[in-house]
Structure 1
Amino acid sequence: MDNIADLRKSYERAELDEQASDASPLKQFGTWFQQALDAKVPEPNAMTLATVGENNRPSTRIVLVKGFDERGLTWYTNYRSRKGRELEADQFAALQFHWVELERVVRIEGKVEKVSAQESDEYFKSRPLDSRIGAWASPQSEVIASRAVLVANAAKYGAMYLLNPPRPPHWGGYRLVPDTWEFWQGRKSRLHDRLRYRLAEDGAWIRERLAP
């Protein structure tokens, strides 16, 4: 096995300059997201979600962003899952996108709110049938005896709801409303570019460079 301490890469693909970046972090994110799509980055919508539990222990998991606009970034999940319980206790969270092929990272922090029932219903109806049944079948984050439990639950709810399962009341969307964005572009010699946008009291975004 190679020495892990010797693993390193020189980042030389691009740069991130204050004058070239957008004054709006949302527009800057939209530009980078589209570039990730154009570059066919694997699962460009995958993001790490960090939450904090009642015992002040942080936890992370990968979720998929399903939309972003001036209101924030949205994903969907089981409200009874560990992340759901932690967000119920502490509404502040952080998101991170890592587009390895582009040598880019985007970090977003803010407060999380549930999306409306209508938004959750509309998205749920757009999901494949197996995914809609799966939302009923999986008691997410709970201990189960074996995979057979999931298979049995899927069969049960599939027979119950056939082709039109309703959205479970414990399943729906969350939206993170950003107050901080950070855009990281890998650069040579570890002198990376980091631009942070933080929300001022008057609602304006303050853009500033951070040391790498």
Structure 2
Amino acid sequence: MSSTEHSGGAVAKPSNWNLPNAITVVRILLAPVFFVMLLVDNGADGGLRWAAAVLFILAIATDGIDGHIARSRNLVTDLGKLLDPIADKVLTGAALVGLSILAELPWWVTIVILVREVGITVWRFVQLSDRVIPASRGGKLKTLAQSVAISLALLPFPNLLGDWVNWVNAVFMAIALVLTVVTGIDYIVQDRRLNRSPKRTA
């Protein structure tokens, strides 16, 4: 019998205190550091702006790392399923608010995205007593699109390459915005279908 099994043959659940969850928590803690670095020099294209952009990219990239470790080492936990999307939302939310404060992103875009993200997060917490809702494939694609769009917006490329980069940034941000709204609606539709379906009895 392996060390992960009990005498009854059931597989033991992995502990919440594991490396993937620790990486996720670090990602959450890095959000305020990134936010201060972004705003402290009023968004100038100096060293702090570059450092803030790189920190965001590195922090958001760990989303794939902790997920890979959790799956490959059988360390997937309900806590991780809950914290992982929250970490992404905290990071992207900090970036969006920071960019809007710096007048580099319209506030309405930030508000639409944050309303969707906060709404889905609250809904997940409400459903905790019944089930843990992991990020869907569409949700993960949305997060990827947001990450790319925000990374392009954070990097001060227009000052180096010209204003045409702003058009590229706008296209990626529009894609991220559309995916954010569509996947938010999809979550609600799928939940209503699940609630309407007859419950199975043992």
Bin for the TM-score computed over the shorter chain: under 0.3
More helix by share: 2
TM-score by length of structure 2 reads: 0.21
More strand by share: 1
RCO higher in structure (CA 8 A, sep ≥6): 1
TM-score by length of structure 1 reads: 0.21
